Structure 1
Amino acid sequence: MLDKSLLKGLYVLTDATLTPDDTLLEQMERVLKSGVCMIQYRNKYASDEEALKQCIRLQALCDYYEALFIVNDRLEIAHEINADGLHVGMDDVSYEEARALLGRDKIIGVSCYGDVQRALHYEALGADYVAFGSFFASPTKPNSTVVEHSLLKEAKAHLKIPICAIGGINQENIVHLHAHDVAMYSVISAVYKEDAIEENIKALYQRLE
């Protein structure tokens, strides 16, 4: 049984540019050693064969560190490797299809952008967490629409499942979201900058204290 109490804190995503294949495993082990208990494989450019290889290794790594491993969008891979879960967005495989294949015990998160009604819909269907954002301009998703921070207050008032904030979050601005007491903060570039993963994660967690 997966430990869904781990749906909290920093939620670190991989990135095709910032975590290239040849250093991906080493970088993610450093992330997990730094206390992060949930990571997501997100690479829209890798072939299915490449993604499968990396996801097998990352799931094993997360098992070793007793962390959760989530695959972005690639349902067949998540199913094949028995991943801990899947994250889906508006243009990805549907939540319903993912839940039917993966079963009730797996974690499925849904991107809800700036739409609380969308989040309530998927909460009712059984989603394990929902993600809102971007809350800041994102260097890894430059075309994302920025949403108001006040959305989190509305979301907290209506949702019972964990809420994840995404988009351009770094050491300087994470405190503005922390005021809303959301469960998870999705981070990418803020973790990998200057190849100082351990120091970056420590600094982010200090901001959340």
Structure 2
Amino acid sequence: MSASSVNVVTHPLIQHKLSLMREKDRSTKGFRELLNEIGMLLCYEVTRDLPLELVEIETPISTMQAPKIAGKKLTFAPILRAGVGFLDGMLALVPSARVAHIGLYRDPATLQAVEYYYKAPQDLSDRTVILMDPMLATGNSACAGASLLKARGARDIRFVCLLAAPEGIAQFQLEHADIPVWTAAVDERLNDHGYIVPGLGDAGDRMFGTK
């Protein structure tokens, strides 16, 4: 993946909301609401180039050829658990989308992704799949999620995250050069525990109040 396929979304609303999320005293409720709102805004960006087709409709005045999204419905694929924080915002924009669930957790010793659940539509090869996880840190979870989708036939995959580290981007580039990335920010680095610096902590813990 070239640097040009890493899309940093600099819209002022996204950047403002991200800054609010970074604050250590932000409540669980506030963090969850902001993640949902940013998910909706990022969905605008990642779907900007979806193909359209002209279909005949009837307005109250006359018939016309009007653009509608072509092809089968989108599939949203959140990586559990934190990835579901994006889901409601995206479904608010695309309520007819299918949803795939990818259950992965990070082994605290090796930092490798371990699969524990997978459920997705059968015809992924015919759909645009938006893989989502708030943090692209080591890149292990995102890479594992993308590999699972490809193994089930997905061919058009896009990855959306809230924050990325240079190390995670490099790993994702190495393993999935064909998948473009959308993120709100690229932070400085990872620390010794695999957390993004300055980051915002553990997104799942902050979203669900488990720490």
Compute the TM-score of the two structures, normalised by the length of structure 1. 0.36
Bigger radius of gyration among the two: 2
Higher strand share: 2
> Which has a greater percent of helix?
1
TM-score normalised by the chain length of structure 2: 0.36
